[in-house]
Structure 1
């Protein structure tokens, strides 16, 4: 398996090279030359596998340059802190089943890929005899997942940008309370998109990137997408355990979406052969992606126009991973991708309305929006029906999922995080003050270590130069 750039300016490279690169040298994103295909018969042979075993099989289709026995060892190590099922499925009524992705150390779905990345990045760096400085941006959960995955890892440092005042108290505590020498938190004035723009600017400066050995673990890193695709395979296998005629039996997934990485993983899984009927994108009030999939017009919003909502991890108005979907939409023609982004730079939007009917008919993608009132009502309805408490982002997914249920097609909603991470919204919705374990209470009370910056690229460059591993 070799990887190329969506913008056509990168010679084919291996999984290990993509893992350490982040953005391609031409500013594009790495994609497989061709996605591997998995037959229905092969899927059936995977039904009895544990989650780590399944992860080794699926990721192994992407990471063909890593010996399978090494990969299996890394996937076993990645999910050791999870319960035995790793990803449990839980029906919550109305034909909806939650796919439990928040059983990891930071209580959010980002752990599913990041714990594997912590293993494989250290492995590749050791093989190459080099170091890596991970530069990332987070809207809430990516940062803590990355920091917990890489804390104490040999040859790796993490420099994580987060938007000031845009995360929950719990999310800030998870990141800023870490005191590990290889973890650096930078709080940036602005919104997530400002943080993401800084990461892209520095990643696009090839000389600076190479001089300071910068890499990425945001979902622009293709290894994140590969690792996340595993739970679509797992969820289909578990959801169809009791189905008599299982081969080819279709299910749909609803995915709370901000940066388009999680749902892109589902798109990859569908293209690889998982029988997925629909991928339903659930947006919050920052619904640029919903507008795109409904109209075909992609119009990112400015920082000032990006709303602070009660599902903050989705407060994103410029979705990095959309470029990978656009690449397939335009027939994998890099020149058309470059032209679309040139149009975006010139006029603030690009128009693919002529292709909009294909979004569902050819790719199976539909979308919807959920608001703060919707989140509260959905959390309340799930709780009152006796199905427990869900977090605000998952509530966005459940709300939109209910609008897109089809007879005879199971609807699976990807859980985003544990409700404890968003206690204020839970209290507002159902009047319940969540009780924290003693360990979580200590986390919230711990001293925090964070550097505040204005969002100036030169200031960030200086910080990296002073703190990067060489």
Structure 2
């Protein structure tokens, strides 16, 4: 399979885009054509374990990696006791016709582990094959950073430079990242918000001379390797939901997904799964108070906010006002036309807005995309309600998803809510919601008490360049 840029030009195969991150012209890597899964092929996948399913689905995109090698990568990514649940992604009833898709069973207790564990294995494999090194430059609003660092720590051919916004993550999230003492992990806390961190990453990645001189790559969801790995759990969740459905009705049995969204990578993977033939009726996007994406899907106007206008909320991993992966969806919306996509992003640079209101009716009718916003009071009430009714405690981001999901439930259509993280990562908010102190377990106490290593830095491109230049790996 070949990959192209959303703004034009060819980029090579899976292994090539795995290492490159942003395209040289600033676009994002997308498959030249999406594969399709027939009803018969879906039935063939039904009895597979999660690692086996990952091999099959990722294998549709990673056609340059021999199948036996890919099976080894997925076996290591999802085996060896890395995930607490035997099935890797358990499904559990939440009531109100909703089902929780358990994506937070991995080492950092967040859904980002689902893709990052595979990405770590795949990067090491490709770098070894090509006798190269990679300096990963990433930005995190909370969970990407820890998932990436735990997947890449200690690797000989990879260094990680992870930017995070000062004071914008929970104490647990900071500790998961900053307590790592591995020499190849560099945590940088930037004065500003996630979008400032993301903008720094983009500026350095579009400086091709600097990028090549320092072998820069990305593990944010701009990396298509992550997107391909996230498609797997949409397929898995549909298969498990339809296991008990009559065989003759399975092929057309629809489900909907509710997806808490910040950078649009998670729900983009659902969009691709739907485009590949998975019977997904609706993809319900949930935002917090930073509801730029909700505004876009309601009005067709994409208006990213400035750093000053990006709020610090109680679902911090979603405190994003400029969603990188939206470009991949817009590319599909505009008929996979790179010239129209490039023009749209030129419009964004000129006017701080993209007007796609002429396409508004297609969002739901053609792509099944709906959206809604959740507030602090909403997530508190949702956490409390689910705990009281079901005994299940959900984290604030998952609560945003569940709140918006309720607004779009249809009779006879299962609503699958994608879990974002385990609630212990946000103990203060859970305590506020439940009106009781949540006592940390021994592992959490030890994590919070561990020494932390982080470099504070202003939102300064030149300082970041110098920092990376002094510490980057070179072949």
Alignment partner of 1:348 is 2:352: yes
C-alpha separation between the residues in 2 aligned to 1:434 and 1:469?
42
C-alpha separation between the residues in 2 aligned to 1:55 and 1:11?
26
Deviation by residue 1:123-148 (Cα, 9 ceiling, x = unmatched): 00000001000000000000000000
1:26 corresponds to which residue?
25
1:376 corresponds to which residue?
380
Alignment partner of 1:126 is 2:128: yes
C-alpha separation between the residues in 1 aligned to 2:156 and 2:226?
20
Of 140, 143, 162, the residue aligned with 1:141 is 143
Of 357, 364, 370, the residue aligned with 2:368 is 364
Counterparts of residues 1-400 of structure 1 (less than 5 Å): 1-8=1-8, 10-80=9-79, 81-82=82-83, 83-244=85-246, 245-400=249-404
Deviation by residue 1:315-366 (Cα, 9 ceiling, x = unmatched): 0000000000000111111111111111111111111111000000011100
1:418 corresponds to which residue?
422
C-alpha separation between the residues in 2 aligned to 1:17 and 1:388?
42
CA contact (8 A) 2:95 2:390 kept: no
CA contact (8 A) 1:251 1:410 kept: yes
2:406 corresponds to which residue?
402
C-alpha separation between the residues in 1 aligned to 2:190 and 2:401?
29
CA contact (8 A) 1:92 1:387 kept: no
Deviation, structure 1 residue 79:
1.1
Alignment RMSD, CA only? 0.7
Deviation by residue 1:290-332 (Cα, 9 ceiling, x = unmatched): 0000000000000000000000000000000000000011111
Deviation, structure 1 residue 203:
0.2
Deviation, structure 1 residue 12:
4.1
C-alpha separation between the residues in 1 aligned to 2:291 and 2:222?
20
CA contact (8 A) 1:379 1:395 kept: yes
Query: Structure 1 regions of 5+ residues with no counterpart?
Result: none
C-alpha separation between the residues in 2 aligned to 1:440 and 1:468?
32
C-alpha separation between the residues in 2 aligned to 1:52 and 1:361?
34
CA contact (8 A) 1:106 1:144 kept: yes
CA contact (8 A) 2:11 2:17 kept: no
How many residues in Structure 1 have an aligned counterpart in Structure 2? 469
C-alpha separation between the residues in 2 aligned to 1:429 and 1:23?
40
CA contact (8 A) 1:256 1:393 kept: yes
CA contact (8 A) 1:46 1:54 kept: yes
C-alpha separation between the residues in 1 aligned to 2:392 and 2:13?
44
C-alpha separation between the residues in 1 aligned to 2:409 and 2:415?
6
C-alpha separation between the residues in 2 aligned to 1:209 and 1:437?
43
C-alpha separation between the residues in 2 aligned to 1:130 and 1:45?
37
C-alpha separation between the residues in 1 aligned to 2:12 and 2:276?
20
C-alpha separation between the residues in 2 aligned to 1:95 and 1:402?
9
Query: Structure 2 regions of 5+ residues with no counterpart?
Result: none
C-alpha separation between the residues in 2 aligned to 1:198 and 1:94?
43
Deviation by residue 1:348-396 (Cα, 9 ceiling, x = unmatched): 1111111000000011100000000000000000000023100000000
CA contact (8 A) 1:7 1:28 kept: yes
CA contact (8 A) 2:256 2:282 kept: yes
> Any idea what SS the aligned residue of 1:367 has?
strand
Deviation, structure 1 residue 206:
0.4
> Any idea what SS the aligned residue of 1:229 has?
helix
> Any idea what SS the aligned residue of 1:124 has?
helix
Deviation, structure 1 residue 439:
2.1
Deviation by residue 1:218-260 (Cα, 9 ceiling, x = unmatched): 0000110000000000000001111112112100000000100
TM-score by length of 1: 0.99
